[in-house]
Amino acid sequence: MQRRDFIKGMTLTVGGMGVMGMGRIGALAGSHSPLFNISLAEWSFHRALFAGEMDHLDFAPTAKRMFGIEGAEYVNQFFKDKARDREYLREMKKRAEGEGVRSLLIMCDGEGNLGDPDTKKRTEAVENHYQWADAAAFLGCHSIRVNARSEGSYEEQQKLAADGLRRLTEYGADKGLNVIVENHGGISSNGEWLAGVMKLVDHPRCGTLPDFGNFKLDDGTWYDRYKGVREMMPYARAVSAKTYDFDAQGNCVETDYRQMLKIVLDAGYRAYLGIEYEGDHLSEPDGIRATLTLLKRVRNEYAGAYTTG
pLDDT in tens, 124-140: 999 999 999 999 999 99
pLDDT given at position 219 = 87
Rounded CA gap, 47 and 159, in Å?
A: 36
pTM for the full model?
0.89
pLDDT tens, N- to C-terminus, the chain (309 residues) = 444 444 444 444 333 333 333 444 444 444 468 999 999 999 999 999 999 999 999 999 999 999 999 999 999 999 999 999 999 999 999 999 999 999 999 999 999 999 999 999 999 999 999 999 999 999 999 999 999 999 999 999 999 999 999 999 999 999 999 999 999 989 999 999 999 999 999 999 999 999 999 999 998 899 999 999 999 999 999 999 999 999 999 999 999 999 999 999 999 999 999 999 999 999 999 999 999 999 999 999 999 999 986
**Which domains are seen in the chain, by residue range?**
1-71+82-97+256-309 (no CATH), 108-237 (3.20.20.150)
pLDDT given at position 22 = 44
Under DSSP, the state recorded for 263 is: H
What are the residue ranges of helices labelled H in the chain? 3-9, 23-26, 46-50, 59-67, 86-98, 119-128, 130-139, 154-173, 191-201, 225-232, 257-266, 284-302
Q: Do the Cβ atoms of 72 and 110 come closer than 8 Å?
A: no
Q: Do the Cβ atoms of 132 and 76 come closer than 8 Å?
A: yes
257-266 and 225-232 are packed helices; what angle lies between their axes, rounded to 10 degrees? 20
